[in-house]
Structure 1
């Protein structure tokens, strides 16, 4: 029984044990299937750490959680079986659906299968998992409020009753706004695919750091031999190659031509270099291409090279997808193969 007159005093409850049972129930043994005969099954929650609590004061019910999770999975792709893990570094009370990040590791992966599995995860599984994590906050409050807060009919204070109503109103407004934003982004992508017309675009700007020289990094992205290594053996020239490094106008595909790239402009220097290339995914509408501009800046003081990425022409709604793809293939892949820095 809750002893808290008019829900006035600060009351809290540690809900981490409840959260573990909750995620066991909604995630374990969950199966995802693709049209390409990929079956992805979450087999275990091997780690759930952090803080998770519900508290209230003066009628205001609040959640406060920040957790990290690791999921184990089995996956069947083209009759090949794999195991792996998904790390979710932050499941927080103030996260929106698009905020959740995933680091997927596939054990003993094969290049073609790996691409298909990761593509399936990013296109279908990621969104469904994010919606589960986003819904967690509502279920957490609904299930645990009764342990720390009196029922509304037992509250005689007008002040605390008004606070409770304000909390509910703010929650409804936030949910409706988030649904509208998701629907707007989805509608734009669906419309472009259905009509075949080019989608409106935006520009992304971000940086990555490598522990190597600028010239070495420049060659890593232009040498067919090096590209073959960091792309897991999927480099496919679509034009004849004139030298040991790609040159202007030369075109190639990666991961069964799911990514198509054409070199537009090159500028090589000892401390600073640049690569400009067109870049598209094969499921974009015809003639929809982005322009990927890589600038390499070497720091003699720290022995590092900063890669400045200016990515124009990215279709609206595809920002997270292409950025994640870039970091997984062009950054993480290069660091793992050549040891050019810490892999996150």
Structure 2
């Protein structure tokens, strides 16, 4: 083996504090299958399209099989991913009739361009013919293609950081392409026309010491119910389980913990003013470890309706759109559809 100061420079370690993989000569690999599974499900279940035929949205993952990894060889990043996906969809016609079907992606991989991706849509066998199937093919398929493209962009930006190490002479290898935020179309995940939102950029540091850019946004929504009923809907465990259609843990007291949507969402209550205000520390499972957003829900009772004003501070900037869309769909729309508010 070469001594310090002489021999093959690929093995010289004297100028590296960690003395590993000098000049990126060795093959290194990072498994990102777990993150990919969660991210694919999050992105796909945010797809919702509307047309003259009605509304269609992806509702559940019935198949999510595959793997993903990032490899570094001689300073060159190689991305590998291969997935087979099947997602259930629910369509609601303009006259209120509901239809179920499935959307399948058999070959999401690094060997196929997004334009060449096979995406098939069908109705369940017991469902009668409906124009909603054409809506899914015409508008749903392009949206799915877009969010899958966003997954690939995030894979190549977020998880490639740190894969290429500095050289022994202290010079850095070129970083991969500039990180891009997921930007699905506003029509899919933005709040209804009555909502307003603004955001300002800032930075937040997680417990691990990683500084990440964050943002703030607001949403306004009107519910056809009283403030006390709306307040109870957010803090009562049975109510939460009903509108999320999944098990939940909700300890409605200051400092009390909550967990819902299969553990994807968790946090704690920081302020509870009955029928008026709810404060919470809130996070999504894929966010940086121990990073929470600060959520404030203020309710104004207007007799037969209640205006809800929500402020969300400290959201990772790359997660702004998905967080905004998640609250709109999995909280606001779900509550209205479930309880008729």
Relative to the length of structure 2, the TM-score reads 0.45
Question: Over alpha carbons, which structure has the higher Rg?
Answer: 1
Higher helix share: 1
TM-score, normalising length: structure 1: 0.45
